Amino acid sequence: MSRSSEAMPPTLQEQLRAYLETAIIQGIYQPGDKLPSENELIREFQISRVTVRAALSQLVADGLVIKRQGKGAFVKQRPYRETSYGSGSFTEACLQMQLQPQTRILNIERIHMDSEYVSLLNADNSAEIIQLERLRLIDDTPCIVELDFFPRDAEYLLHTSLEDRSLLRAITEETGVIPAQFTDQFYTTWASTHQAEVLQIKKGTSLLKVEQSVCDQQGKLIYINHQFIFTERYVYSVQR
């Protein structure tokens, strides 16, 4: 057999990539775990920084690893998958999947809005509504930015604790109204500067936008919800 036809031994880059890939597949490094730093890999494997970076870049291209500027390389999170059974509650969906949901209130305020929402929410066509902005996290990982639009008479929300609390449950407990009907519309959009900052992604990243109307048992509109979902971390699916 000629020398040129013999199998070439793997390069140092390929060896490091294979080692890390195997460690990820075997669960030594779990989704979200930080991989050893470049300096640690250089010392352990006695290889150059160029080789380490090339191996990590290949793992990024393979979809196994993500790099965070100034923080290092991490095993890519598997997207959390919600199946909507009609409850409409992010908190309850996470708990059913034995995940830890978290809600951070980014802002809540009265605003004046010139849009169709005004006539839908306010019987007197008043331009003032209440806007609530929330960040949804699972196991400390930011996944969704939500905007909720309420009629101006929902002032109880301005004085209600909503941090790490189901909004649907809060509405029922505070008003006795039961959210019972949910209508969703789906769009593709791109992360704004603000959304990118709170989701810890790049501006312009593709997001799934869900526009949801939430009504009571008689079909009366309670509020309108907009969800901006980073689908690499969270998958929204509907069971019919």
Q: What angle do CA 47, 51, 56 make, to 5 degrees?
A: 120
55 and 99 in one domain? no
Residue whose pair of structure tokens reads 């980073």 in the numeric block? 230
Burial call 165-185: b when 16+ CB within 10 Å, e when fewer: ebbbeebeeeeeeebbbbeee
194 and 122 in one domain? yes
13 and 112 in one domain? no
Query: Using one digit for the tens of pLDDT, what is the confidence trace for 179-228?
Result: 989 898 999 999 999 999 999 999 999 999 999 999 999 999 999 999 99
Domain that holds residue 153: 80-238
Assign residue 19 the CATH number of its domain: 1.10.10.10
119 and 27 in one domain? no
171 and 60 in one domain? no
58 and 131 in one domain? no
137 and 20 in one domain? no
* Domain-ending residue, one of 56, 75, 94: 75
141 and 125 in one domain? yes
- Average the pLDDT over each of 110-124, 144-158, 203-217, 220-234 and give the range with the smallest value: 110-124
145 and 28 in one domain? no
Count how many domains the chain has.
Answer: 2
Assign residue 169 the CATH number of its domain: 3.40.1410.10
Query: Using one digit for the tens of pLDDT, what is the confidence trace for 50-107?
Result: 999 999 998 988 888 888 888 899 988 766 665 554 455 776 777 676 677 889 999 9
32 and 97 in one domain? no
* Domain-ending residue, one of 26, 46, 75: 75
3 three-class SS: helix
Q: So what's the pLDDT on residue 82?
A: 58
231 and 134 in one domain? yes
87 and 163 in one domain? yes
Q: Are 103 and 146 in contact (CB under 8 A)?
A: no
* Domain-ending residue, one of 43, 75, 107: 75
